[in-house]
């Protein structure tokens, strides 16, 4: 899991720089990255960051961004029966997309190893947290020049990650309508409401519409 962890280095540095631009200190960025350990959710939260903090919007947005972990956790749970209870919270904490995807296939073949799961996840957590700290520190030094940040493409890292995640999750024609609804809802909310509520509204409306469509499609097949 070291290679996937190293792949998150530029994303982590970019996040650290973006967090510094929002007013977070390197220590605050490090604590967030170590305790949350969810790059996409952290970037979404950072987009909403303001003074005073919009706590309700932050909670709802991060919750929606992390809904996929309910499915991932449900798939992993049957393989955790023999794991001591005090280790299970640590497993949930280091469950990220790359670590889960690599290990769930091994569990399904009966060859899963929680020592490898934990080791890989903790390694990725340290790399992610360290790269975020590095970005936060560099934001007040070598990367304090916005023009340099732009030339290195670090201002585009968050957008690039969202594009990759969206492309990975896209299921074809069945997703076109929900995505269109989410975009229209977000644009409408952007026009109607101040702040970044359009992110929450777009995600919730698009997600609910997609859930309703999928439920009706499944019922029609029965």
pLDDT by residue for the chain (222 residues), tens digit each?
Answer: 555 566 677 788 888 888 888 889 999 999 999 999 988 788 878 877 877 887 887 887 788 777 778 778 888 888 877 788 888 888 888 888 778 877 877 777 777 788 888 888 888 899 999 999 998 898 887 766 666 666 666 666 656 666 665 666 666 777 788 888 888 988 998 888 876 677 778 877 887 887 787 777 767 776
pLDDT score of 35: 92
Q: Are 14 and 155 in contact (CB under 8 A)?
A: yes
Residues in CB range of 86: below 8 A, 6 or more apart: none
pLDDT score of 34: 93
Q: Are 14 and 158 in contact (CB under 8 A)?
A: yes
Residues in CB range of 181: below 8 A, 6 or more apart: 205, 206, 209, 210
What's the pTM? 0.69
| Phi/psi at 5 (5° precision) | -65, -45
pLDDT score of 97: 77
CA-to-CA distance for 176 and 211, rounded, in angstroms?
A: 13
CA-to-CA distance for 135 and 154, rounded, in angstroms?
A: 10
Mapping DSSP to helix (H, G, I), strand (E, B) and coil, where does residue 70 land?
helix
């Amino acid at each position: 899991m070291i290679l996937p962890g190293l792949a998150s280095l530029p994303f982590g540095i970019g996040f650290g720089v973006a967090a510094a631009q929002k007013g977070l200190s390197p220590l605050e960025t490090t604590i967030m990255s170590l305790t949350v350990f969810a790059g996409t959710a952290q970037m979404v939260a950072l987009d909403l960051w303001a003074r005073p903090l919009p706590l309700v919007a932050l909670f709802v947005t991060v919750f929606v961004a992390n809904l996929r972990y309910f499915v991932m956790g449900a798939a992993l749970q049957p393989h955790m029966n023999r794991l001591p209870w005090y280790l299970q919270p640590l497993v949930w904490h280091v469950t990220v997309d790359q670590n889960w995807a690599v290990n769930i296939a091994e569990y399904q073949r009966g060859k899963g190893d929680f020592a490898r799961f934990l080791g890989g996840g903790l390694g990725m957590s340290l790399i992610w947290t360290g790269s975020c700290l590095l970005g936060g520190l560099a934001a007040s030094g070598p990367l304090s020049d916005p023009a340099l940040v732009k030339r290195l493409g670090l201002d585009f890292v968050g957008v690039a990650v969202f594009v990759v995640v969206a492309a990975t999750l896209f299921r074809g024609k069945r997703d076109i309508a929900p995505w269109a609804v989410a975009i229209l809802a977000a644009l409408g909310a952007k026009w109607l409401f101040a702040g970044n509520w359009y992110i929450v509204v777009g995600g919730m409306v698009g997600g609910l519409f997609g859930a309703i469509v999928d439920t009706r499609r499944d019922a029609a097949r029965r």
